[in-house]
Amino acid sequence: MKYLSMLLIMVAMSVCMVSCGDDDDKPANGNSSLVGTWEVSNKVINTRDATLRVEFKSNNKGTMSAIYTDGTDSDSYNFEYVKKDLEGSTYLTIVWTGNYKLIYDSNREYDVTITPTRLVWGNITYTRK
């Protein structure tokens, strides 16, 4: 009887240990696949060749920069964003927080495609850096 009791306790403990919650970190605001730095080269911005860089932070803020290949100072613009997943599609809305914008219109919803290495936003395909 003693061994049977110990066996039942061990079985119950092993089931309890397996059924504990996972240790995976949950993404902040559901944006884990968007959060990060994305770039595309060989763009013409303000009549100059540039690399376009966009950084999405987990607090729904970001920065878009044009890094000019001629060595002149880059242009950077801040924005806030809302990412919405609806029926298998992802939509992104940005709001420029300054007086200037770069490439995208403010308060417009864009249909985007996000993979671990690529972000397709409008007619531009970015790669994760």
Which stretch of DSSP H or E encloses residue 2?
helix 2-18
| Burial of 77: CB neighbours in 10 Å, binned 0-12, 13-18, 19+ | buried
Write down the pTM of the prediction.
0.70
Domain annotation covers residue 102: yes
58: domain CATH number?
2.40.128.360
Q: Is 18 within a domain?
A: no
Task: State pLDDT tens for residues 6-47.
Answer: 788 887 777 665 555 544 444 444 444 899 999 999 999 888
What is the CB-side half-sphere exposure of residue 104 using CA atoms within 13 A?
29
pLDDT digits (tens, 9 = 90+) for 76-87: 999 999 999 888
Q: How far is CA 56 from CA 6, 34, 129, in A?
A: 54, 7, 12
Residue 51 CB partners (closer than 8 Å, separation 6+) = 39, 40, 41, 42, 43, 66, 67, 69
Residue 63 falls within a domain, yes or no?
yes
| Any domain includes 118 | yes
Answer yes or no: is 9 within a domain.
no
Give the pLDDT confidence of 111-125 residue by residue, as tens digits.
999 999 999 999 999
Q: Please check whether residue 73 lies inside any domain of the structure.
A: yes
Cα separation, 21 vs 24, whole angstroms = 9
Bridge partners of 114, per DSSP, are: 119
| Residue 17 falls inside a structural domain | no
Is residue 43 included in any domain, yes or no? yes
Range of the domain at 86: 32-128
Domain count for the chain: 1
